[in-house]
Amino acid sequence: MTDRAHPPMQADVLTTLTSWLDFYRATLLGKVEGLTDEQVREAAVPPSSLTLLGLVQHLAAVERNWFRQVLGGEDVPPLHPREPGTGHDGGFELGGAGLTEARAAWEEEVGRAREVVDAAGLDGTGSLGGNAVSVVWILTHVIAEYARHAGHADLVRERIDGSTGV
């Protein structure tokens, strides 16, 4: 089972936020742990086409967008194209890649995100549509994104094999 450290109850703002983000990152990993490529491709909550593989891919794209592109100002292409007509940022659609490839991409983006946040520090800012956006705002937004999708992952995983918790 994925080790999931609870965030400290007394810490500075940056430590608190990054600890909560790491908590939800570990939650995501716990939801895919022990599943086959077939299982992570299973849309288990009809009529939704949402899958655990799609969530891993999407959250890798979220990491790249908010940390590397917005906060770090890197000129890197999106991991996945925007899905026309869905309002999704991309990644939910399944291609030929399996969980191993999706997880490797996700881990790479998480590693880069940590580097960008460390370099930016608590007072760091990025740019979104020409507007300054603080590292605190970005971290809070990404934590909310993970928390929402962790709830989705709970439902999908339970439908796949009855597993709850993590």
Distance, in Å, from the CA atom of 146 to the CA atom of 151, rounded to the nearest integer, reads 9
Q: Which segment of 28-32, 86-90, 119-123, 157-161 scores lowest on mean pLDDT?
A: 86-90
What pLDDT sits at residue 28? 95
Convert the pLDDT of each residue in 63-90 to its tens digit: 999 999 999 999 998 887 666 665 556 6
Domain membership of residue 62 as a residue range: 13-161
- The answer to the question of residue 7 being in a domain is no
Distance, in Å, from the CA atom of 8 to the CA atom of 6, rounded to the nearest integer, reads 6
**Domain count of the fold of the chain:** 1
Q: Based on the number of CB atoms within 10 Å of its own CB, is 17 exposed (0-12), middle (13-18) or buried (19 or more)?
A: buried
The CATH number linked to 102 is 1.20.120.450
